[in-house]
Every structure is written in structure tokens, then in C-alpha cells.
Structure 1
């Protein structure tokens, strides 16, 4: 399990967060990534990770008002103050908990020049204001996240390149890429210089990465041969239980290389 991190937004979600971290460690994961852990004290998360020897990779920025269908604030015009205040609180939490990256949620809004400009301004502000963290952006497929600012890697990379961001990278989620009907291998080749983290799940069901329309093992082999040396985030929904599906992950390990534990942290 050296190269695999457990995404605890989906795995063991019947447990409270600290027990999820312990369960991931017991299962052999060396790293975890979180969604929105803000109802648990950051110091408790830090202590739990230290006690279990698990590395905390990253977490997501606040989503906004869920009752209104919001899924991030960074690209929403007129919400800049709310985004920045929320990000400062989230960043303090992440740093205290031991994370070194933050996935910034762009939000549900048309992909217009104005929305991209708002996102760019907020990202430049984040890089300048929170030097302790690196940032990640993730395109979410249009089936699971209709109306989200970007669905494709090229749309996300466009923001990074247009704004000349220095500490912001792409989450390359094979599930989201495959769900859009794209070839993950070809998309990775196009944008490998921008990739900060890779995630996996079966396409199209988002279950354990052992079946579906995308050969996950072959794709990971391609990514590794192409020079990717970071963590592989397991962000899938178990068909039954996490432990019942672990043999599928163990089968993937044979196609993975050296432990990235000393590499730049990613999520």
C-alpha cells in the first residue's frame, strides 16, 4: 500500500473521522486525504496521524451553502470576501492538522471569462497570503457535478497557465476524466507538467478500481512510465465494505514503483 492514500471522504464513512484514520492505518495505507473535516479539532487530527504514522495529504476548501447547491466559492463573483475569510480559516485548520495542500473548490457557475477571472484573482491572493500551503484544482465530471466551473483537465490547466500560478496544480482523477469519455493516458500526457496528484476509481460506477470502461492498472502503468512519482488517491465508493474490496487494491500494487513518501506531498 506504499503508493496508495485513502480518501476518507468515501472510505469508512460509517465511522467518525479519527476512527477512519485509524482504520486506514490498520489496513496498510500510509497516507490519507480528507474532504471537509472541520467539525473535528485540528489538533486531534494531527495527534491521530502522528500516533498511527499516517501522512495527511490535503483537504478541501469550504463548499458554501449546501442547501443552495453550492460546491465551492472561489469562482463566484461577489463572494470574494466570503471565500477568502473561509479559506483563511480552512488554511489555519489544515496547517494545524499537518496538511500541506488544499483543494480549492471553484463552485457551480458558467465557465465565463468573468468567472475564470474571479477564480484567478482568488488563487493569486491565496498563493500570496498562505505561503505555507500548495493548492490543487480538480475538474469534476458533468454527470456528478453538473454546472461546476470546469469538467475537463484542459479547462483547469487553462486557469493555472493564464494566471501564471506557481503553487497551484491539477488533481488528475482518472474517474472524472474517464467519465467524460476521455482517454486518461492521453489527457495525462497533455498535462503531466501540471499534475499534482492522481486519484482512482472504476469508470463509470466509482467503485473499487478493478473493472469498468477504463483499465486502471494499465493507466497507472502509463502514468508511472511517464514520470509520475506521487501518491495515488483511492477516492472510490466501496461496493460492499472497504476491507472486502482491499484485494482489488493489492492487485494494483504490483504496477506501482517506489514509495513517494519523501516526494512533494500531494492530494
Structure 2
């Protein structure tokens, strides 16, 4: 089945990072993509000045790029942080301050997917206390997302790179999403299926796809090992995406991989140019 009919979106927080943030949407458009996604761009500012939000919005609109996914505030990414919503104290307060800001920015650009990274375990804090805090904050995020017709995403990361992050399996992330849906009654919290992270964890990706495609709100890909472009590692990304479509997933697939030792425009040779533009709908 190859990559035909897959709707690709480029993550501008890991690709095109050789450029300033405001130049990345135009660079993605020049490479043939019309859909992009972002981690929260202001790692130390959950509530940036309106001028910064306006400037990024203008850059996206001027480039003709559609924002299809946005992370809530998650701390230092890339870096040691893996989210904020389960971290007691200042970090979870920053997350809560960010929720309406992120949702409002997403709504202004027609973005309908908001990723809420769970956060690391903290020494000296009972994991049950962190999980209770996480559920409270995820419910807050789900209600904000509901107001703009959006979905909240819960992601599993990989254990070797994120040893203090508690959601390191598809089942654990899906369980949290289901807990949020039960708490809110909204049913707008879904699984973010990152095939790279799940592969590093040693999961059977075919089984994950078959079991969880129906509760998946977004998919991200990178090859393993190395987190490079498809074809640089051992994953058969084309076959996996074909299996996803067969399982009923027809949403966006985020390109969340490292470009390697080359400028980002050279990291798309695996994908025929005719398949890069995303559909308008």
C-alpha cells in the first residue's frame, strides 16, 4: 500500500530547527508540505506575550501551512522534561496556566489536536499523588479542548530515553485516556500512537495497531534505531501505515524524526514529492 493516501504533517520542533521558529513554516511549504505540528514553542513561557503568538500565527498563515497539532506546555523539550501536568508545584501550575492559552491559539488556526505529555516521576512524591494530579489536569485540558471542538492526546514515550516517564506502553497511555473520558464524560481524549517510541519499547506494532487504532487520535513516525527518516532504520513504515489504514485510521501522520547530518529539506527523499501536499480537509 506504500504511503499513498496518508496525510502527512511535519513537526517543526524537530525538523527545520536549523532555522528560526518563524521561518520554519515557509521552509516546510517550500519542501512541499501544507500541514505542520509543533511542540509548545516557548519552553520557559506557558503564557507568552500576545505579540509572540501573533507572530507565529502570521508565519503559519503567510506560508499557507495548516497547524494540525500542538503540545500543551511540557517544560524543556528537547531536554530533561517530559511534560508538566503530573509534576506537583510550579510545573503543574504552569501547565494549568497554559491550557486556555494553548487551546485559544489552536482554535485561532483551526487546530483540533492538543498533546498533553504526562510528566516524569518525582523523587519523594507518591506516584498515586502524581496520577491523581494528572487526572485533574487532563480533565481540565479535555474540557478546554471540548470548548474548541478539539481532541486531547495522551502519548506513551520510550523507557530508555525517558526512564522516569510512567507511560511507556500503548496500554498504559490508552488506560489514562479512558480514565479522563470517564471523569469528564466527553470522550475527546485519545491515544497518540508514536510508532518510534513503541518500537523502542519492544512492542509488537502490528498488534498495537490492530488493538488501538479505534482509540487513536494521532500517529507519529520515525525509524528505529536512530529516530531518523523512514528507511534509515529497520521499521517498515510503509507497511505499518498501510496496516493503520486497513484498521480504520485515516487521520494525520506526523513526521517527528531527526533530519540527521543534513539540512531538513534533504530528509524527505523517501517520500515522493507528489505525496507531500496534505489534503485540504
Tell me if the contact between 2:193 and 2:218 (Cα under 8 Å) persists in the aligned partners: yes
Taking the aligned partners of 1:49 and 1:64, their CA distance within structure 2 comes to 23
Query: Does 1:170 pair with 2:191?
Result: yes
CA distance in 2 between partners of 1:259 and 1:14 (Å): 23
> Which residue does the alignment assign to 1:94?
106
The count of residues paired between Structure 1 and Structure 2 equals: 258
What are structure 1's unaligned runs of at least 5 residues?
A: 263-267
* Counterpart check, 1:85 vs 2:106: no
Listed one character per residue, the Cα deviations across residues 44-91 of structure 1 (whole Å, up to 9, x for unaligned) are 22222222221101221222478x943222122456544312323333
SS in 2 for 1:24: helix
- Following superposition, the deviation at residue 98 of structure 1 comes to 4.5
Distance 2:144 2:250 in 1: 28
* C-alpha contact (below 8 Å) 1:45/1:97 kept by paired residues: no
- CA distance 1:249–1:144, change in 2 (3 Å): farther
Q: How does 1:60-209 map to 2 (within 5 A)?
A: 60-64=71-75, 69-78=80-89, 80-109=92-121, 112-130=127-145, 131-132=147-148, 133-163=150-180, 164=182, 166-209=187-230
Task: Please report how far the alpha carbon of residue 117 of structure 1 lies from its aligned counterpart in structure 2 after TM superposition.
Answer: 2.4
TM-superposed deviation, 1:218: 0.9
| Distance in 2, Cα, partners of 1:252 & 1:139 | 32
What pairs up with 1:207-226 in 2 under 5 angstroms?
Answer: 207-226=228-247
Give TM-score, length-normalised by structure 1: 0.86
Does residue 1:25 correspond to 2:32, yes or no?
A: no
Matches within 5 A, 1:37-48: 37-38=41-42, 41-48=52-59
Unaligned runs of 5+ in 2: 43-47
Give 1:251 deviation, angstroms: 8.6
Partners in 2 of 1:189 and 1:220 — Cα distance?
12
Give the corresponding residue for 1:236. Answer: 257
SS in 2 for 1:41: helix
Aligned twin of 1:15: 19
Q: 1:195 to 1:83 in 2, by over 3 A?
A: same
In structure 2, relative to structure 1, the CA distance for the partners of 1:259 and 1:85 (3 Å cut) is closer
| Cα distance change, pair 87–215 in 1 and its aligned pair in 2 (3 A) | same
Distance change (3 Å), C-alpha of 1:65 and 1:35? closer
Aligned to 1:36: 40
Match of 1:265 in 2: none
Between the aligned partners of 2:279 and 2:252, the Cα distance in structure 1 is 6
Structure 1 CA distance for aligned equivalents of residues 82 and 239 of structure 2: 32
Equivalent of residue 248 in structure 1, options 267, 270, 273: 270
